């Protein structure tokens, strides 16, 4: 069936906490000039409180509902072309994976557990890591559970270890241009 509405050409960054989605998102935004939608930031602004408080007051499922609603909004037919940086757990819901895939070119930023551990160690803004359990075990288990979802949702996987955000952005832009220019 043909449609008069062109498919969205957003670039969407997915991946585990601490893989650099927000930093690479800002770099892509600066290079392309497309607006940046950092989903965690938007949700916090709208809720008027940090994610830790959303989880504490309303629970994780309420936060996941906010993510789903925002993905739907970002995919509305008249939405501008954007760089979209997602939260690490957005892929857990099957509906979200479909919504993300429909937004445009999806890039999975991956990093070794040790790197994630180091990057998230001092940060107290991630409720799922604020427990008494060994963070390495939590991260390893969560990563194992989510890996298939990132894999299934992404067009491209990039290992971020050893590359700075500028190099990652260059790689993403080349691949995205190729993707968008070769679509049927
Ligand atoms: C989460 C990741 C966070 C944030 C929330 C839940 C997760 O985003 O959405 O704390 O479930 O992995 P970042 O990946 O930007 O840290």
pLDDT per position as a tens digit, 85-129: 999 999 999 999 999 999 999 999 999 999 999 988 877 788 888
Q: CA–CA separation, 107 vs 110, rounded Å?
A: 10
Determine the residue of 21, 24, 126 to mutate for testing ligand 1's pocket, defined as the one with the most ligand atoms within 8 A of the Cβ atom: 126
pLDDT per position as a tens digit, 160-177: 988 999 999 999 999 999
Q: How many domains does the chain have?
A: 1
Q: What is the CATH number of the domain that holds 36?
A: 3.40.50.300
**DSSP type of residue 131:** S
Domain with 60 in it: 10-181
State if residue 88 touches ligand 1 by the CB under 6 angstroms criterion.
Answer: yes
Q: CA–CA separation, 92 vs 84, rounded Å?
A: 17
33 within some domain: yes
147 within some domain: yes
pLDDT per position as a tens digit, 44-56: 999 999 999 999 9
Q: What is the CA radius of gyration of the chain?
A: 16
- Name which of 100, 117, 110, 103 is nearest 158 in CA terms: 110
State if residue 54 touches ligand 1 by the CB under 6 angstroms criterion.
Answer: no
21 within some domain: yes
2 pLDDT band (50/70/90 cuts)? very low
Alpha carbon dihedral 59, 65, 66, 70, in 10-degree steps, equals 160
State if residue 15 touches ligand 1 by the CB under 6 angstroms criterion.
Answer: no
168 within some domain: yes
Q: CA–CA separation, 41 vs 49, rounded Å?
A: 10
């Amino acid at each position: 069936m043909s449609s008069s509405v062109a498919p969205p050409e957003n670039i969407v960054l997915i991946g585990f906490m601490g893989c650099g989605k927000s930093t690479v998102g800002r770099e892509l935004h600066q290079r392309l000039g497309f607006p940046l939608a950092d989903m965690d930031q938007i949700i916090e602004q709208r809720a008027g409180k940090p994610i830790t408080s959303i989880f504490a007051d309303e629970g994780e499922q309420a936060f996941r509902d906010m993510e789903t609603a925002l993905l739907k909004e970002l995919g509305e037919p008249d939405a501008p072309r954007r760089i979209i940086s997602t939260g690490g757990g957005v892929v857990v819901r099957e509906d979200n994976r479909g919504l993300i895939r429909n937004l445009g070119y999806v890039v999975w930023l991956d990093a070794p557990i040790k790197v994630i551990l180091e990057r998230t160690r001092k940060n107290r803004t991630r409720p799922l890591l604020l427990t008494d359990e060994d963070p390495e075990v939590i991260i390893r288990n969560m990563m194992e559970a989510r890996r298939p979802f990132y894999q299934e949702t992404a067009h491209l996987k990039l290992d971020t270890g050893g590359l700075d955000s500028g190099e990652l952005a260059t790689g993403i832009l080349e691949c995205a241009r190729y993707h968008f220019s070769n679509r049927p």
